Structure 1
Amino acid sequence: MAFAIGDQVFVARSVLKLDANDISPFYRTVVRARKNRSVQVDMPGGGWSHSISTSKLIRNFGVLIIRIGDFNEDGLLDPLAKSILHYCRMLLPGDSVRLIELRTEGELATFWDTHHGMCRQVVIVGHGAPSGFLFGTTNVTPQRLVQIFDAPNPTKKEFISLGCETGYMQFGKIFSQARCVSHFIGPFHSVHGCVASLFTQTYFNERLIACRSERVAFKHARSNLKGAASFRLWENGNLTAGPA
């Protein structure tokens, strides 16, 4: 992503060596100078920062958490979705995070058609299988989900599925080929809610605060779960990381 002098950006406070005792781990600032792939930005109280890589800059945020219900959400799905919601609210500024709770594919299509522009990352929380997600009592296939998410022709986004076994080829290969998907992450086996929450939080920490690429952030998040669960990373129909 290209950045120009005068652009407003977010930078992790740790990158700028700023006090971490702030409500947000990010500092909103303005690009003041650029040389090749490095920039300098405004610092609090005046002056410019040291040279930092453009890979450390974030233009905007947006995380959408989609909780797909099956009439039995209280014990797992609601706590899991809300654990990610509360973490992201501490992580990201302002109204950059939203949780939507639904039970039908029609609700998903209506919401997505209007609000797809608010997010860069999408977390799907629900009961999954290689054949799809359970919406209420109806299984919705990955092919149908691709139709729903591709319909408004949105910008490419990272999708993280916490539905069991959606990292299988039957789901991951198909879904990752959607026009709107840049990367797709899904569990290779059944996954406990505590593990799914930890993986997602670690991924966002690596992706946003540490400014890692999707693949590196995935590998770091997955390495914390040895012996607990396996996740896979798919890109354009290809398995790029995770167990074969």
Structure 2
Amino acid sequence: MSQKFIEGDTVYIPSSLLPDGDSYSTSIYKTSVTQTKAKSVKVLLRDGSNSDWIASSKPHKNLGIAIITIGDFSTEETLLNPLAKSILQFSRLLLDDGSVTSIRIRAIGELGAWWAINQSAYSHIIFIGHGSQNDIFFAYGGPRTPIDFQRRVLSAAQTKKTFISLCCETGKNSFASAFSAIPACGHLIAPFHSIHGAAASQFFQTYMCWHLLYGKTTKVAFNKAASTVPGTDIFRLWKDGAKIA
């Protein structure tokens, strides 16, 4: 099995995992790998010394959050934009401003144009909009299926991303299985049912706390977050066309 990291790699690691983690000014510390073995790494600390061995599942090779609001003309001011603002402000508490962006679009062509230029900077992609078990709705062009996303947007991706869809029902098999099988998708997290905007915001915040602040894997962070959202089995986690949680 090949190593996830090699010596000299730039990584992002939760400050909470480092000595005196509470004294860091940011929740995520950018540093470099100094040693590797099996499934562990050592990283360079701010005083120039090496850290203790840290599980290689904890650091991230790239870290950035892109919040994409997909407009519908009718609920943007009352639902979509307020939800996007809550996700944006929370994300800015986790990462520096240069690692977080929020855009508003109404057509899949707009998303494709933005994606081709900017996607390499972001590891986590958040979709805010309206969905169904088959598609996500765009104000211009109407429903768009996973095939549309792969053909018009995601073919340009160089690395796999974690996609978090806050669009209703996109965690169901028809949409989620096909979308999570797209090569650009590392994981897809999406609601199985309709979901209230407040619950969607709560889930995102809880998931990112476990995943980024405490360095939990995608699956562990998902399970912890999913168990706290009001309701029953609202979210699903998909990878490579299969539901894994």
Offset at residue 229 of structure 1 (A): 6.0
Offset at residue 70 of structure 1 (A): 0.8
Cα deviations by residue, 1:123-180 (Å, 9 ceiling, x for unpaired): 1000111131221162222321222233324321111110111111121112111111
Matched to 1:214, the amino acid is T
Q: How far apart are the structure 1 equivalents of 2:183 and 2:31?
A: 32
Between the aligned residues of both structures, percent identity stands at 39
DSSP-derived class of the 1:95 partner? helix
Matched to 1:139, the amino acid is P
Alignment of 1:138-149 (within 5 A): 138-149=142-153
When normalised by structure 1's length, the TM-score is: 0.90
Matched, 1:164 2:165: no
Aligned to 1:130: 133
Aligned to 1:212: 216
Matched, 1:107 2:119: no
DSSP-derived class of the 1:28 partner? strand
Q: How far apart are the structure 2 equivalents of 1:19 and 1:131?
A: 44
Gaps of 5+ in 1: none
User: Structure 1 residues 8 and 234, CA, compared in 2 at 3 Å: closer, same or farther?
Assistant: closer
Q: Do 2:12 and 2:63's aligned partners in 1 also have CA atoms closer than 8 Å?
A: no
Aligned to 2:229: 225
When normalised by structure 2's length, the TM-score is: 0.89
Gaps of 5+ in 2: none
DSSP-derived class of the 2:153 partner? helix
Offset at residue 46 of structure 1 (A): 4.1
Q: Do 1:195 and 1:228's aligned partners in 2 also have CA atoms closer than 8 Å?
A: no
Runs of 4+ with >6 A deviation: none
Structure with the higher helix share, 1 or 2:
2
| Residues matched between the structures, number | 241
Larger RCO, structure (CA 8 Å, separation 6 or more): 2
Q: How far apart are the structure 1 equivalents of 2:157 and 2:199?
A: 33
Q: Do 1:149 and 1:180's aligned partners in 2 also have CA atoms closer than 8 Å?
A: no
Matched to 1:95, the amino acid is G
